[in-house]
Structure 1
Amino acid sequence: MPNTFDNILIGLVVLTWLMWRQLQVRRADRPPVVLLVISALGVASLGVAIAKTAPTTAAILLLVGSFVVAGGFGVARGYTMRIWRADGTLWRQGNWRTAVLWLISFGVHLGLDFAIDAANAAKGLGGASILLYLAVSLVTQRLTVRSRAHDALRKTSNAA
């Protein structure tokens, strides 16, 4: 299992790549391939860490809390996305607010990582959760964007 520094570095690389992708114009209905890959890697990484650390109740509660925070940031970012329809296709694009929320979210996660490790006798559980944290955040962002896109589609079809 990678150490905390390695997990943070991997998280930063993935975060940078995700931010770059989200600032691009993209279809709002793309298949969730990236999300599925990050989710699978995140579950595997966290599973290995849990098996090796025997987490305390406090560490588990902080870990669950971090995923709730991730979801909240995902919803917030979903509302920063510009959504529009062109040629019958729904499109979306993030902006500077989307990027700022990603950075704040990552900083909050780092703080929670240290709190999780402080509440656990064995270190590394917090850092091992970074990919799953990003995946949870992406899921809620994706659901928010899709909901907004469907609302926009419904309004345009009702107006016609």
Structure 2
Amino acid sequence: MESTSAYTLAALVVAFVVFRQLRTRPFRPVGSLVAPAVFGVLGAAGLAFGVASVVKFHPLTALPIVLLGASLAVAAALGAARARTVNVWRDSSGRLLRKGTVRTTGLWLLSFAVHLAFGLWIDHADGVGLLGTASLYAYIAIGLSAQHLLLRRRATAL
């Protein structure tokens, strides 16, 4: 079981990501991929460590892996849905700007509720606990990447 401080840190990271989505910010085609890359590295490293720790004491079945894959697929789908709720426009000087909406926030909340549900499902079905904070970082990375790639397509059209 993960420590309370790990969950607190994860909650703060999630709050920061959502907060940044709701502010008007310049749209940077490449710079916006930095956060997903950082979360991806943290998620991959955490998952690798988590799996190595789990298999020492508990045989890893296919169910947690399938549910983890399904969870990450849902992250991509919800990232694509969030991309449609983010406003993208050019200001008077021609800069591209972006800002999330109330619907963006709702989809973020749904996204984390789905991740939590998958984690509880795995814990109940197999007792592995593979979807802790480490997979949350991978989940954010995939969701943000999908969101950014679709936003980039919309911004290019402007």
> What's the TM-score bracket when you normalise by the shorter of the two chains?
0.7 to 0.9
User: What is the match of residue 61 of structure 1?
Assistant: 66
Shift of the 7–63 alpha-carbon distance from structure 1 to 2, 3 Å rule, reads: farther
- Corresponding letter in the other structure for 1:95: T
User: What is the match of residue 39 of structure 1?
Assistant: 40
Q: What's the secondary structure of 1:126's corresponding residue? A: coil
- Corresponding letter in the other structure for 1:143: L
CA RMSD of aligned residues (A): 1.7
Work out whether residues 76 and 143 of structure 2, in 8 Å CA contact, stay in contact via their aligned partners in 1.
Answer: yes
Q: What's the secondary structure of 1:24's corresponding residue? A: coil
Separation in 2, partners of 1:23, 1:96: 8
Work out whether residues 4 and 124 of structure 1, in 8 Å CA contact, stay in contact via their aligned partners in 2.
Answer: no
Shift of the 16–29 alpha-carbon distance from structure 1 to 2, 3 Å rule, reads: same
Deviation above 6 Å: which 4+ runs of structure 1?
Answer: none
- Corresponding letter in the other structure for 1:108: V
Aligned length: 150
Q: Tell me the TM-score normalized by structure 1.
A: 0.86
Aligned-residue offset at 1:5:
4.9
- Corresponding letter in the other structure for 1:126: L
Identical residues among aligned pairs (%): 37
Separation in 1, partners of 2:118, 2:16: 22
Separation in 2, partners of 1:40, 1:60: 19
Work out whether residues 35 and 141 of structure 2, in 8 Å CA contact, stay in contact via their aligned partners in 1.
Answer: no
Q: What's the secondary structure of 1:119's corresponding residue? A: helix
- Corresponding letter in the other structure for 1:134: I
Choose 87-96 or 56-65, whichever is displaced more: 87-96
Work out whether residues 84 and 92 of structure 1, in 8 Å CA contact, stay in contact via their aligned partners in 2.
Answer: yes
User: What is the match of residue 154 of structure 2?
Assistant: 148
Shift of the 6–73 alpha-carbon distance from structure 1 to 2, 3 Å rule, reads: farther
Q: Tell me the TM-score normalized by structure 2.
A: 0.87
Q: What's the secondary structure of 2:90's corresponding residue? A: strand
Aligned-residue offset at 1:120:
3.0
- Alignment gaps of 5+ in structure 2: none
User: What is the match of residue 27 of structure 2?
Assistant: 28
- Alignment gaps of 5+ in structure 1: 154-160
Separation in 2, partners of 1:79, 1:14: 23
- Corresponding letter in the other structure for 1:12: A
User: What is the match of residue 158 of structure 1?
Assistant: none
User: What is the match of residue 51 of structure 1?
Assistant: 52
